[in-house]
Structure 1
Amino acid sequence: MRLQVDHATTYHFDPPMHGVVQTLRLWPTECENQQTLDWQVDAGAAAIGAGFRDGAGDWVETATLMGAVESLTIRVTGTVETVDCGGVLKGLRERVPPQAYLRTTRATLPDRAILDLARSATSDVSETDVLARSHAIMDAVEEAIAYTPGETEHGTTAAEALALGHGVCQDHAHVIIAAARSIGIPARYVTGYLFASEEDGAHEASHAWAELYVPDLGWVGFDASNGKCPDAHYIRVGSGLDADGAAPIRGVLKGAGQETLDAHVSVDQVRDQGAQ
């Protein structure tokens, strides 16, 4: 499937900042699940620093803008060819061992309810069948948390989202990760894009899901918001221990004031013109 992305994020600062440094993790993952055909990241007047590939295999660059900064727009445009690998991440070169993703964070700290969810979901599944245990956790999270935009915030933790019973893809991913780690399955947060038709429901084009490490398979994606493993409708971008660690854009500001954000994201399928 050939997918086209247009993603613009604008930050407004009142009063203007003396300087802004943004860490950008906005490039599609280099793996067998997808091939980048063209991709541009435009930061306007900001200076782009030298890029590097981190231990998780993500490409990272910085954008720096000094002076009186009233606003900064980061725009991503590009086209990616995707294939369905059954949710299995294939061909990613990374140096971080899976065991590193057993570490918990504030957002993924399991409380008693998450521990109970993980144990109940996997009680009838053999401990050696990690894939089946992972699917059971995803199914339990999908049932426990209704996809409801506007009910949670960026800082909502997994425990808070589960208690509320409502949330979005970030909350689903955090609860899956917290539950998986609680029973010894390495898990991480993944950001990317999702192409969804009208029949697929009201899911945002900027998307997130969880990846769990399954012996003999490697990293496998689980998206409780859609009740499935990622397929050709997904573009993978970056990963981390939680939403903050995997954030596509993270900033450091020089100055004090109010920051507001406007974002527009669209993902469209590029049709084969020869088939018209």
Structure 2
Amino acid sequence: MILTVNHQTIYRYDQPMRGMVQSHRLTPSRCDSQTTLDWSVTVSGATMGGAFRDGAGDWVQACTVAGPVSEVIVQVMGRVETSDTMGILTGHREKTPPEAYLSETLATRPDVALTDLGRDAIARGTDPLDRAHRLAEAVGEAIVFTPGVTEAHTTAAEALSLGQGVCQDHSHALIAAACAQRIPARYISGYLHATFDGAANEAAHAWAELWVEGIGWVGFDAANKCCPNESYIRLGSGRDSREAAPIRGIARGPGQESLDVSVAVEAAQQ
């Protein structure tokens, strides 16, 4: 499948800012499930800085915008040819060992409920892959996809207690439950071309990858109760949504920031 992406993020400030610095994970991953045909990231008024591939295999690009600045537009456009590898991440070069993802963050710190959920789920599993599937299934059943009920800083424990959330909450909860059972897990940011009715769909999407002994990293989208397939584009990874965020940055000055984001992912005619 060939997917086209049009992703625009507009930052506006009620007073001119002295400047802005950002780091981007907005370039599709190099792996067997996707091939980038063409891709561009532009930032209005910006000077592009250094770029590098980090230990997790993600491409990180820095940029700065000199002030005074009242509006910054980040525009992402491109085409990616995708294929279904049943969620298994292959052909992806990285140096970070899986054990590095056993360390918790504030967002993925497991409480008693998350620990119990994980323990009960893997107890029903017959092998490492089956246990990973059962973990994802348990999280998907425990948290109902409900937009607008959680916030960017909602933790996995809070989302599980609420029983509702979005893809970020499902991913955090799955990571927390897995790591509580000593299964390395990480957060993945990307895009989703959603065509099926009744599913939990967001064009700017997130899911988790779990380390399965004998196989490697396998993706699980607990919100949609599936593994990533040809409808997914993988961008970046981290221990939680903050570390894997496509755009991270800071603006210097007295102004208050407002954000406008639009994402469209479509299947191109082949």
| CA displacement at 1:271 relative to structure 2 | 1.4
Matches of 2:196 and 2:231 in 1, distance apart? Answer: 13
User: Is 2:84–2:229's contact at 8 Å kept on the other side of the alignment?
Assistant: yes
Superposed, 1:92-103 pairs within 5 Å as 92-103=92-103
Provide the residue aligned with 1:180 in structure 2. 178
| CA displacement at 1:149 relative to structure 2 | 0.4
Deviations 1:26-78 (CA, angstroms, capped at 9, x unpaired): 00001111000000001121111121111110111112011111011100000
| CA displacement at 1:202 relative to structure 2 | 5.4
Matches of 2:123 and 2:56 in 1, distance apart? Answer: 32
Superposed, 1:101-116 pairs within 5 Å as 101-116=101-116
Provide the residue aligned with 1:139 in structure 2. 137
Provide the residue aligned with 1:25 in structure 2. 25
Matches of 2:117 and 2:108 in 1, distance apart? Answer: 14
TM-score by length of structure 2 reads 0.98
AA aligned opposite 2:174: I
User: Secondary structure of the residue that 2:153 maps to in structure 1?
Assistant: coil
Provide the residue aligned with 1:222 in structure 2. 220
Matches of 2:142 and 2:230 in 1, distance apart? Answer: 26
2:206 to 191, 208, 215: 208
Matches of 1:69 and 1:249 in 2, distance apart? Answer: 18
Provide the residue aligned with 2:261 in structure 1. 263
Provide the residue aligned with 1:90 in structure 2. 90
| CA displacement at 1:189 relative to structure 2 | 0.1
* Bigger Cα displacement from structure 2, 143-152 vs 247-256: 247-256
Gap runs ≥5 in structure 2: none
* Bigger Cα displacement from structure 2, 199-208 vs 218-227: 199-208
Provide the residue aligned with 2:74 in structure 1. 74
Runs of 4+ that moved beyond 4 A? none
Provide the residue aligned with 1:54 in structure 2. 54
Deviations 1:225-274 (CA, angstroms, capped at 9, x unpaired): 110000000000000000000000001221233111100000000112xx
AA aligned opposite 1:23: S
| CA displacement at 1:179 relative to structure 2 | 0.3
Provide the residue aligned with 2:234 in structure 1. 236
Matches of 2:63 and 2:46 in 1, distance apart? Answer: 6
TM-score by length of structure 1 reads 0.96
AA aligned opposite 1:163: S
AA aligned opposite 1:14: D
| CA displacement at 1:91 relative to structure 2 | 0.7
AA aligned opposite 2:61: E
Matches of 2:180 and 2:138 in 1, distance apart? Answer: 15
User: Secondary structure of the residue that 1:142 maps to in structure 2?
Assistant: helix
AA aligned opposite 1:117: L
2:149 to 148, 151, 172: 151
Matches of 1:136 and 1:44 in 2, distance apart? Answer: 45
Matches of 1:213 and 1:237 in 2, distance apart? Answer: 18
Provide the residue aligned with 2:14 in structure 1. 14
Matches of 1:131 and 1:256 in 2, distance apart? Answer: 51
